[in-house]
Structure 1
Amino acid sequence: MENKQKKIVLTGGGSAGHVTPNLALVPELLQHGIDVHYIGTDDGIEKTLVHDIPFHAISAGKMRRYASVKNITDIFKIFKGTKESKRILKGLKPDLVFAKGGFVSVPVVWAASKLKIPVILHESDYTPGLANRLCIKKAQKICLSFDTADARSERSILTGSPIRKDILDGDRAAGLASLSFSGDKPVLLIMGGSLGAQAINDAVDAALDTLTQRYDIVHLRGKGKLNPGLEGSDSYRQYEYMEDGLPDVFAAADIALSRSGANAIFEFLALKLPALLVPLPLSASRGDQILNAGYFEKRGYAHVLEQENLNALALVQALDALWEQKDEMVSVMGNSKEADGTSNVLNVIFENIGVQ
């Protein structure tokens, strides 16, 4: 009797951080002969990012942490999305649903639970977001990126966060050549997330004369945030963002300056790239980046500079301190259990669907 092909549904969306870890799993899943499908929304970023596997669209509401009439109307969207998910899952009959978070995952997980389809959740941040909190009780396993008290519960397992394999395949010489850097000075990579980080950009601009004496700098400033007044330096390259060639630029970098979103910092960990993290402040977030950064600093993977303390002088001093401890940090990161998040998560999936 021929073995039935295994089938998995991936879900997650609303931001790239809820999609790219899922996509990091796809090549290996396909290589193992698994039929992979994605459930997302038609108007979410997942629709534009998901390629090469079937995509199924549903409705999804968003529950906000503040009073809003949309919290009422979006409840109906969640129930509509659950009904749509149930119909899709009944047709697909997957062996497993893997949910990465974001509010599109809520109706999918709820529908899977009603249909008795096993669910694995993954949480990237130090503490779970609201969508995952609404799904936790319905999951058989919860993969965690951070070694918190929750990671030692019966259903939880410390995995780290999945990252794209191509990020690890960069070539330093190619990166230096693409940036027209000689390699004589250390390369500082600066990035502030998909939208950029104005506070980081402003501090870098103010300190640039000093920084370019020490480093060759590649700066991903965010959409619409280029500074035309900074053109012309042999030691400074600025981009809004970078789609092609980023693995080579990562390979060329010696240290990084960044926000502390989970995807970015776990890429740094896998690359063994020491970073100075400037977390998004509590006034602009639920505080997850502050907790992420604190954990990485405690583990010896990064240094932290709070945004309220960020200025030109503090930035230069903090980057110099990072450079002084670079070699020690690279060694610590090389011994991390969380660094190989992709393999760790795949092992949990394979174990739960009986794939060798």
Structure 2
Amino acid sequence: MSNKKIIMTGGGTAGHVTPNIALLPKLKELGYEIEYMGTENGIERKLMEAEGIKYHIISSGKLRRYFDVKNFTDPFKVIKGVFDAKAILKREKPDIVFSKGGFVSVPVVMGAYFNKIPIIIHESDITPGLANKLAMPYATKICVTFEEAMQHVNKKKAVLTGSPIREELFKGSKIKAKEFCGFKNDKPVILVTGGSLGSRIINSCVRESLNDLLKTYNIVHLCGKGNLDRNFNLTEGYVQFEYIKDELADLMQLSDIVISRAGSNTIFELLALKKPNILIPLSAKASRGDQILNANSFKKSGYSVVIEEENLNPLSLQEKINELNVNKETYIKNMSKSKERDSLSNIIKLIEDCRIKR
């Protein structure tokens, strides 16, 4: 039986779980017993159970910045969640809690605080999300991904760690990916992804541009659940998938250009893999604007080409792809110069330090 124990939390979207998954191999190697706390139907449950991690269910309500009838009932679910989490943590006695944010994390962080358990929070974006804002006063340390984020959090607690990257992403095979996609030629490959839920606006723009793009490129399109279009099933040089897990590392290695949303985890993976990319951040109308800040930070550093969602159309997309293709060596060079942080080691060291100092 291990004498080191960590309980992790975070959920609501894959972005609040992926960095936790990246930490698992190293934590196991160091002999940690790992458990997870999340909601009954959250994406985090499916992802963690697939990793064979013991999972505890707690109640939690969604924290919204807009009016909704559920705003009157959800605070009671959060309060119930705090009692759920407090009882589980008292029973399980972890040495430390690691939180990746998302509304499920708030009760867990508060429950840990009441049990006097050290808490590390990881914030992916430049400005903290609502859940992390509520949880941060209870944290022992706050990991941030962007340098610009330091001015938005308590500097005494903040540590610039970067975003942990899953090690398997570096081990992909171009040959396997080419075979998997059935590509018959050596045209450069564009990988299109709209995040774990897909993006209708990106999907339709890419499909409208196919006739022109396929003259020069092969295209791999990760279009999100329920977004496959059968009309393109037999289009040579174009393959579409709802979601890819096991083959993602291979597809990343195969791709010459990536078109993506600007979620923090994804863009730091592109930076680590030095993939020339076009970012199409979620518009401020559909989000709190975090992706716009992420994308502009990467544009300023010379890592990414950015198209604002409002300016996205087949013509602007093709122009930016051609521009990126011509200048891709410059972008690769800029990404190679980035202060490559060994985020995984930074975060693991922080976990070990906080556990020892307890």
User: Smaller-chain TM-score range?
Assistant: over 0.9
Alpha carbons of 1:354 and 1:329: their partners in 2 closer, same or farther (altered >3 Å)? Answer: farther
Measured in 1, the distance between the counterparts of 2:41 and 2:55 equals 13
2:215 is matched with 213
2:9 is matched with 11
Measured in 1, the distance between the counterparts of 2:185 and 2:164 equals 30
Alpha carbons of 1:281 and 1:149: their partners in 2 closer, same or farther (altered >3 Å)? Answer: closer
Measured in 2, the distance between the counterparts of 1:249 and 1:339 equals 24
Q: How many equivalent residue pairs?
A: 353
Task: Specify the code of the residue in structure 1 equivalent to 2:171.
Answer: D
TM-score by length of 2: 0.94
Task: Specify the code of the residue in structure 1 equivalent to 2:248.
Answer: L
SS of alignment partner, residue 245 of structure 2? coil
How large is the RMSD of aligned CA atoms in angstroms? 1.9
**Deviation for aligned residue 1:28:** 0.9
SS of alignment partner, residue 147 of structure 2? coil
Alpha carbons of 1:113 and 1:328: their partners in 2 closer, same or farther (altered >3 Å)? Answer: same
Task: Specify the code of the residue in structure 1 equivalent to 2:30.
Answer: H
Task: Specify the code of the residue in structure 2 equivalent to 1:233.
Answer: T
Instruction: Flag structure 1 segments of 5+ consecutive residues without an equivalent.
Output: none
Task: Specify the code of the residue in structure 2 equivalent to 1:87.
Answer: A
**Deviation for aligned residue 1:183:** 5.5
Q: 1:48 aligns with which of 31, 46, 49?
A: 46
SS of alignment partner, residue 338 of structure 2? coil
1:82 is matched with 82
1:57 is matched with 57
Deviations 1:150-182 (A, max 9, x none): 269221111221232212210112111211224
Task: Specify the code of the residue in structure 1 equivalent to 2:195.
Answer: G
Instruction: Flag structure 2 segments of 5+ consecutive residues without an equivalent.
Output: none
Deviations 1:14-57 (A, max 9, x none): 11111121111111101100111111111211111113221111
1:181 is matched with 183
Measured in 2, the distance between the counterparts of 1:320 and 1:208 equals 14
1:101 is matched with 101
The answer to whether the aligner puts 1:140 opposite 2:177 as a matched pair is no
TM-score by length of 1: 0.94
Alpha carbons of 1:137 and 1:86: their partners in 2 closer, same or farther (altered >3 Å)? Answer: same
**Deviation for aligned residue 1:338:** 5.2
Contact 2:126 2:149 in 1 (8 A): no
Task: Specify the code of the residue in structure 1 equivalent to 2:119.
Answer: V
The answer to whether the aligner puts 1:167 opposite 2:165 as a matched pair is no
**Deviation for aligned residue 1:149:** 5.1
Deviations 1:315-353 (A, max 9, x none): 111011111221222222223335543233222222322
Task: Specify the code of the residue in structure 2 equivalent to 1:15.
Answer: T
Task: Specify the code of the residue in structure 2 equivalent to 1:259.
Answer: R
Contact 1:86 1:115 in 2 (8 A): yes
Measured in 2, the distance between the counterparts of 1:110 and 1:95 equals 15
1:115 is matched with 115
Contact 2:221 2:238 in 1 (8 A): yes
2:324 is matched with 322
Measured in 2, the distance between the counterparts of 1:125 and 1:42 equals 26
SS of alignment partner, residue 209 of structure 1? helix
2:284 is matched with 282
Deviations 1:99-156 (A, max 9, x none): 1001111011111111211111001112111000001111111111111152692211
Percent identity for Structure 1 against Structure 2? 49
SS of alignment partner, residue 188 of structure 1? strand
**Deviation for aligned residue 1:297:** 1.0
Measured in 2, the distance between the counterparts of 1:209 and 1:140 equals 54
Measured in 1, the distance between the counterparts of 2:220 and 2:253 equals 12
Contact 1:97 1:118 in 2 (8 A): yes
2:261 is matched with 259
Measured in 1, the distance between the counterparts of 2:303 and 2:36 equals 33
Contact 1:9 1:96 in 2 (8 A): yes
